[in-house]
């Protein structure tokens, strides 16, 4: 996912109550009319219970730019030992 897609995921999940599992996130997003790209990303989340939006965004697969599909590992500052969600 790109930064723009992360924004879409965050926007479509705005107002959701945490903790929430993957299926609840997807159902909430579907009910809010999420676009197919956001829904695809949410469906690829690991089957966990998420405590916050930051946790959802961190777990959301990165889609590389270009035509090929597939997630890549995140390299954001959120994974640094000093990050506190």
pLDDT digits (tens, 9 = 90+) for 26-68: 999 999 999 998 999 899 999 999 999 999 999 887 765 444 5
Q: What confidence score (pLDDT) does residue 84 get?
A: 42
pLDDT in tens, 67-77: 455 554 444 44
Q: Which of 23, 10, 6 shows the shortest CA–CA distance to 53?
A: 10
Q: What confidence score (pLDDT) does residue 9 get?
A: 87
Q: What is the pTM of this model?
A: 0.70
**Vertex 18 angle, CA 75 and 45, to 5°:** 45
Q: What confidence score (pLDDT) does residue 6 get?
A: 78
Q: What confidence score (pLDDT) does residue 5 get?
A: 65
């Amino acid at each position: 996912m790109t930064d723009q897609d992360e924004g879409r995921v965050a926007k479509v999940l705005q107002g959701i109550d945490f903790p929430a599992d993957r299926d609840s996130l997807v159902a909430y997003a579907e009910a809010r009319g999420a676009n197919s790209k956001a829904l695809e990303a949410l469906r690829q989340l690991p089957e966990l219970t998420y405590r916050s939006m930051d946790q959802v965004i961190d777990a959301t697969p990165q889609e590389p730019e270009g035509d090929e599909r597939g997630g890549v590992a995140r390299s954001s500052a959120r994974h640094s030992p000093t990050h506190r969600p």
